[in-house]
Structure 1
Amino acid sequence: MFITLTSCGESNKEEKQQKTEILAANDNSEENAEQVILFFGNSLTAGYGLEKGEAFPELIQQRIDSLELSYKVVNAGLSGETTSGGKNRIDWVLKQNVDVFVLELGANDGLRGIAIEETKNNLQEIIDFVREQNPEIEIILAGMQIPPNMGQDYTTGFKQIFPDLAEKNDVYLIPFLLEDVAGIPELNQQDGIHPTAEGQKILADNVWDVLGEIIED
């Protein structure tokens, strides 16, 4: 079963709907003895601009089902989400049993020029909270890079956030989620930022390179 939690805003109505679906996902996983993989991210995870079933978390679910693995994907992607917003909603998103937590946040921080240390600290707080809830959880951090619009120092420092956090916290790292997609017009929508359905397939491959080793073991 695939549970999708997507949104283009942060209204109370949308958050209430997400909470309802998360609780339903938790009930189903307990009944079916499935392990849960939670994708916690922004519009890249939510599948902004695409049809239902085309975002990379759902493609991951399809691959899991084809391998007959007992895992259920929960998509907690929220378009426009920053690391600060993620920090504020992580408490209720994790009100369920999660076995693998994929953290995909930071891109919107970079595009807005938010201070690198602030982004890094927010991600660290999210990781700390997740570990406090379940010390045995497997955490995957999705690395991100941004165009050099903010200057070379900022661009380089932003890129380094993710390997630094992965090493410090001993978590798995996807080096660059948008590898082989970023900057390629035919794999991105007209805004040049959000992947097309074909681009999302490559994102799924990039994620599976790390996730697959965890769940197939």
Structure 2
Amino acid sequence: MLSMNFVRLSFALLFAFATGACSSDSSTDATTAQSKSATAKGPGLQQRSSAGKSVLFFGNSLTAGYGVEPEEAFPALVGKKIDSLALGYEVINAGLSGETTAGGRSRVGWVLRQPVDVFVLELGGNDGLRGLPLTDTRRNLQAIIDTVRRRSPNAQIVLAGMQIPPNLGASYAADFKALYREIADKNELVLIPFLLEGVGGNRRLNQPDGIHPTPAGHRILARTVWTVLQPLLEAQASAQQAADSAALVTQEG
């Protein structure tokens, strides 16, 4: 039996799609996302960049923080958690409202002009809302992953899973959900099972459009992401410390 929250999410997603809240035709949303991303690169981010390590969030309006202040979006909140542990990573928000996997495939090369250490891929939701063929979504996500590995061979890739309501068919919805696990397993990626866990369908945690999280919703998204990202970053930091120590011993010898 479907939960009431998921039923509400179904209607919310249909409404958002009908009104174009997540449509790539919304130039206003795209402009807002770009300006917020640029604004987010304040002194704190510049300070982290001196370490030469970076976490890049690549996604749609969820990543861009549509409807909230830049510092309230989950990538910025994750950045604060990184800072609190002095891990030394620059956080880059490359979210763009309305982005599909096809759009991301076209854009990722430009975004990766410099290598990154961690690449968080959050795309596909808008594909699902439009009922696009999953073969296309899979092909585009794979192309993005391949581009990241060419441009940043040592980067860890984290894939954010998404789910859609069964309005376009229970089989399509189930296959859409399974697609993320399949891609993660095939490419040996770290998977966030469902980015909107605990937020999707909850009116108190979403804006009036019923689909974009409020600041409180973004705080939950940040915790969901951090649960997966923290051990990865700490492992990278430990490996770097070990490498630095070995290099120091070699120099002293």
Common fold: TM-score over 0.5: yes
Alignment of 1:111-150 (within 5 A): 111-150=129-168
Alignment of 1:1-217 (within 5 A): 9=27, 32-217=50-235
Give the secondary structure class of the aligned counterpart of 1:53.
Answer: helix
CA distance 1:29–1:124, shift in 2 (3 Å): farther
CA–CA distance in structure 2, aligned partners of residues 16 and 195 of structure 1: 18
Q: Which amino acid aligns with 1:187?
A: L
Give the secondary structure class of the aligned counterpart of 2:120.
Answer: strand
Q: Deviations over 1:137-196 (max 9, x none)?
A: 100000000111111011001101100000000010000000010111101111111111
CA–CA distance in structure 2, aligned partners of residues 18 and 96 of structure 1: 21
Aligned counterpart, 1:4: none
Aligned counterpart, 1:5: none
Q: In 1, are the aligned partners of 2:60 and 2:123 still within 8 Å (CA)? A: yes
Q: CA deviation at 1:9?
A: 3.2
Q: Deviations over 1:35-86 (max 9, x none)?
A: 1000000000000011221100000011111111101100000000000000
Which 4+ stretches in 1 moved above 6 angstroms?
Answer: 10-21
Aligned counterpart, 2:249: none
CA distance 1:16–1:205, shift in 2 (3 Å): closer
Larger gyration radius, structure 1 or structure 2? 2
CA–CA distance in structure 2, aligned partners of residues 171 and 212 of structure 1: 15
CA–CA distance in structure 2, aligned partners of residues 179 and 30 of structure 1: 29
CA–CA distance in structure 1, aligned partners of residues 32 and 141 of structure 2: 23
CA distance 1:100–1:199, shift in 2 (3 Å): same
Aligned counterpart, 1:3: none
Q: Which amino acid aligns with 1:39?
A: F
Report how many aligned residue pairs link the two structures.
209
CA–CA distance in structure 2, aligned partners of residues 30 and 196 of structure 1: 27
TM-score with structure 2 setting the length: 0.75
Q: CA deviation at 1:33?
A: 2.3
CA–CA distance in structure 2, aligned partners of residues 198 and 139 of structure 1: 26
Q: In 2, are the aligned partners of 1:29 and 1:36 still within 8 Å (CA)? A: no
Q: Which has the higher contact order (CA 8 A, sep 6+)?
A: 2
CA–CA distance in structure 1, aligned partners of residues 208 and 36 of structure 2: 28
More helix by share: 2
Q: Which amino acid aligns with 2:81?
A: R
Q: Deviations over 1:95-127 (max 9, x none)?
A: 012000000000000001111111011000000
Gap runs ≥5 in structure 1: 1-7
Q: CA deviation at 1:16?
A: 9.4
Q: In 2, are the aligned partners of 1:19 and 1:93 still within 8 Å (CA)? A: no
Give the secondary structure class of the aligned counterpart of 2:27.
Answer: coil
Q: Which amino acid aligns with 2:85?
A: L
TM-score with structure 1 setting the length: 0.87
